[in-house]
Structure 1
Amino acid sequence: MDKNLKLGALSILMAGSLWGFLGLTCKTLTSYGLTSFDVSFFRIFVGALFLLLYMVIKDIKLLRIDRKGLIFTAIAGLVSQSLANGFYFASIERTSITTAVILLYTAPIFTNIISKFIYQEVFTKLKVVAVILCFSGVFLTATGGDLNTLKLNFLGLLIGLASGLTFGLMPILNKFILEKYNPWTILFYSFLWGSFFILLLARPLKIFSLNLDFKFWFALVFLGLVLAVIGYGLYLKGLKFGVEPSKATIISTVEIVVSVIVAYFVFKESINIYNILGILMVAASVILIQERKIIGDKQKVLAK
């Protein structure tokens, strides 16, 4: 693997690790009376404000974008931000958090299938093994081996799969527009469009009626600056360095590993042998997907 691909994979790994703190941050903000949709809005809106400040200071020309760019970023903002968050939270309401997380991480399956047709990515045995290993690892990490944590119904299942599809489309859409536009420009306008669309479900003005302290504002800044700007910036940087979208979604599943570890240390949630096995499986899939060849099978295509 060349240097750029290594840096790209590391960038996406760091992005997924940062997103692992999303649950802790959301729990902090919702304890003040915000809804999940409010938090989603502030994540990308505050992120857009930080990006605007950065771009004005660094190079105001980064704000320039043509009509095609606006259309592409609007689609990316709608699909990857608004719909992905909306479907995910709707899935939680109709099923359970565990079930919603597992359905969200069907994303690598969708990304691999779609990338084959759009970017002609080779669908090898190695990728199939990595995807299966990844999804199985997510399943064990989220459930801890207890199937009673699952709650399935037909509508909840469809909505959960829709969250996986829209999340899986994120690297595919961004990879396409990264060929022409600066990553910060893409991120800024995607955040603006995303915050506009999700505003239909959020009520951000309620913060003016809440009794807020330093802890709230720190969490809000951390949400927008670290978990949005830096997190998505690292993800786009990874794609810019040449990491395939199908691999990017697998690498980013390290998010659930970090979130379980954070829950263990911060919220004192228990971890059993199934959680540990799941974490190891996710880690193995991330390592496996970056190997250039295993038993000479790298170039064998499953289907054309």
Structure 2
Amino acid sequence: MEKKKGYIFICIAGLLWSTLGLFGNVLMGYNLTPEQVAFTRLFLGFLVLTIYSIVKNPSALKISKKGIIYSIMIGIVCQGLFNLCYFKAINSVGVCISAVLLYTSPLFLTVFSKVFYKENINIQKIVSLGFCFLGAVLAVTGGKLDVDKLNGLGLILGISAAITYALMPIISKNILKECSSITILIYGFLFGSIFMLPLAKPLEMLKYSLNPKILVWMLVLGIVPAALAYIFYVEGVAKGVELSIAGVIASVELISSVLIGWTVLGENFSIVKLIGLGFMVVSALIAVKASKQEEPLLSEDIEQNTLHEAL
């Protein structure tokens, strides 16, 4: 029964994450810059996660000097730069394409894991990555490789978001032996927001926050696809859901993001793009099967993967 609740919680987390592009798009429609939207998500997310930890587990706020150093790196690279690139991509190519490009991160994670930690790349991983790459190409192009119609800057930004996303477990792998994933998330959000602060033009943001409508959307962005999604995910995993299964369940985020872009924001969609999404889902299922055939994860590896999924 508890595990079933865990499945539901993780599915809810994925659905909440899928609203990130929608709320960011709304705020940019009010003339907030991608930098300001990124700062809003990080800073308000930090505040809500901190309050949650104070109520739920105050010890999560304790962190070592080494943890602070790693949190600064994670905050700048995997939170600040990730959010900046992702919201800029949304502003450039839309929610659908940005979400698809973000889900190419397993390609980069596999390469980084091989380079930095000498992890093996078996045939199932290669097949999984192949499906992921093919699915991304179909979902982004609709099967029409007309380079002139593709937004080069938007594609670069989307891929950059995927790279910074993939760097999260690479950077955090060692520190998670000392700090919990929720601790790294809290301080990563804090240092990410500090990094984004000079780019966000605080005085201009103060002016926007005086508008009740904009303020509501800013609060929703910081609560729903930020803190609340992470809380549901961590609680879901805590109920005994295997991380490999959790990753597949959370991938509902990709499908939901694309549907939101198509139905709510009126972005283009097609059967070929739907097939591309299908390939990406198949890629995730193959990855799950491959992970089940490998040795059980060590406790620190579980924390590391939990943090990656919770990004």
Question: What is the TM-score with the length of structure 1 in the denominator?
Answer: 0.77
Alpha-carbon distance in structure 2 between the residues aligned to 1:234 and 1:168? 21
Are 2:135 and 2:278, in contact at CA under 8 Å, matched by a contact in 1?
yes
One-letter code aligned to 2:36: D
**Structure 2 residue identity aligned to 1:212:** N
Equivalent residues of 1:15, 1:230 under 8 A apart: yes
Q: Does the CA-based 8 Å contact 1:43-1:228 persist in structure 2? A: yes
Instruction: Give the counterpart letter for 2:58 in structure 1.
Output: I
Structure 1: which amino acid aligns with 2:28? T
1:65 to 60, 63, 66: 63
User: Whole-Å Cα distance in 2 between the matches of residues 268 and 101 of structure 1?
Assistant: 15
The 1:54/1:40 distance shift into structure 2, 3 A limit, reads same
> Which residue of structure 2 lines up, in the alignment, with residue 190 of structure 1?
188
Q: CA deviation at 1:105?
A: 4.1
Q: Displacement of 1:152 after TM fit?
A: 3.2
User: Number of residues paired by the alignment?
Assistant: 287
Name the residue aligned to 1:302: none
User: Does 1:151 find its partner at 2:133?
Assistant: no
Q: 1:123 aligned to 2:83? A: no
Is 1:25 equivalent to 2:23 in the alignment? Answer: yes
SS of residue paired to 1:65: coil
CA distance in 1, matches of 2:243, 2:158: 26
Q: Percent identity?
A: 35
Residues 16 and 255 in structure 1, CA contact (< 8 A), matched pair in contact too: yes
Deviation at 1:83, TM superposition (A): 2.0
Within the candidate set 175, 178, 182, 1:177 is matched to 175
**What residue number does 2:286 align with?**
288
Q: Which SS does the other structure have where 2:198 is aligned?
A: coil
Equivalence for 2:211: 212
Q: Describe the superposition over 1:232-251 as per-residue Cα deviations: whole angstroms up to 9, x where unpaired.
A: 4456678887747xx99887
Answer yes or no: is 1:275 the counterpart of 2:273. yes
The alpha carbon displacement at 1:19 in A equals: 2.3
Alignment match of 2:110 (pick from 104, 109, 112): 112
Q: Does 1:47 align with 2:45?
A: yes
Tell me if structure 2 keeps the 8 A contact 1:171–1:248: no
Counterparts of 1:238 and 1:282, CA distance in 2: 23
CA distance in 2, matches of 1:237, 1:116: 30
SS at match of 2:178: coil
Cα distance change, pair 205–140 in 1 and its aligned pair in 2 (3 A): farther
1:15 deviates by 4.2
Deviation at 1:266, TM superposition (A): 1.4
Q: Tell me: CA distance 1:28–1:96, structure 2 relative to 1, closer, same or farther (3 Å).
A: closer
Q: Secondary structure at the match of 2:32?
A: coil
Task: Go from structure 1 to structure 2 and tell me whether the alpha carbon gap of 1:111 and 1:12 turns closer, same or farther (over 3 Å shift).
Answer: farther
Give 3-state SS (helix, strand or coil) of 2:78's partner. Answer: helix
Displacement of 1:198: 1.3
Q: 1:190 to 1:107 in 2, by over 3 A?
A: same
Higher helix share: 2
Provide the rounded CA distance (Å) in 2 between the counterparts of 1:239 and 1:200: 36
The superposition leaves residues 5-26 of structure 1 with CA deviations (integer Å, 9 ceiling, x where unpaired) of: x999987665444322111111
Give the superposition deviation at 1:159: 5.9
The letter for the 1-side match of 2:122 is T
TM-score, structure 2 as length reference: 0.76
8 Å CA contact retained: 2:36, 2:201: yes
Aligned-partner Cα distance in 2 for 1:91–1:269: 14
RMSD: 3.6
Q: Is the 8 A contact 1:99 1:151 kept in 2?
A: no
Structure 2 residue runs without a partner (length 5+): 295-311
| 3-state SS in 2 of match to 1:291 | helix
Which residue is 1:200 aligned to?
A: 198
> Secondary structure of the equivalent of 2:175?
helix
Q: How far is 1:207 from its partner?
A: 3.5
- Given the superposition, is the C-alpha separation of residues 108 and 293 from structure 1 closer, same or farther in structure 2, using an over 3 Å criterion? closer
Distance 1:31 1:157, change over 3 A: closer
Residue of structure 2 in register with 1:136 after alignment: 134
CA contact (8 A) 2:105 2:165 kept: yes
In the TM superposition, residue 222 of structure 1 has moved relative to its aligned partner by: 2.4
Give the Cα–Cα distance (whole angstroms) in 1 for the partners of residues 237 and 160 of structure 2. 23
Question: What is the one-letter code of the residue matched to 1:152?
Answer: G
Larger displacement relative to structure 2 (160-169 or 181-190): 160-169
- Number of the residue aligned with 2:302: none
* Secondary structure, counterpart of 1:18 in structure 2: helix
CA distance in 1, matches of 2:165, 2:103: 8
Letter in 2 for 1:169: L
**2:99 touches 2:258 (CA, 8 Å); kept in 1?**
no
